[in-house]
Amino acid sequence: MSHCMTDQQYRITEDEAVSDAVVRAVASVEDVDPLDLDVRLFDVLDPDALDRLFRNDSAVGQAAFTYHGYEVTVHADGRLELADR
């Protein structure tokens, strides 16, 4: 992992799965294709479970976890934050 950054915020689009947004955001920061990330999201958590947490408009709260050297925080309002660990 060769990243130098401060905290980054992303917006999860309405038609995008949360798990896909996480992979897209990390790949963007790493400047690689999402398929080229050396750690798969499913090696860290269950992507389907993450998607289910935020699937509908009545979702509240946030989920935080470590992925690919970043502290990832997903908020129910559609924000996704990455911070160096």
Q: What tens digit of pLDDT does each residue of 58-77 get?
A: 788 999 999 999 999 999 99
pLDDT tier for residue 6 given thresholds of 50, 70 and 90: low
User: What is the Cα 15 distance to its own chain's centre?
Assistant: 15
- 64 near 71, Cβ under 8 Å? yes
State how far the Cα of 57 lies from the Cα of 35, in Å rounded to an integer. Answer: 29
Burial (Cβ within 10 Å: 0-12, 13-18, ≥19) of residue 26: buried
pLDDT in tens, 15-38: 999 999 999 999 999 999 999 999
Bridge partners for 82 per DSSP: 8, 72
Q: Which residue has the higher pLDDT, 6 or 46?
A: 46
Please give the pLDDT value at position 20: 97
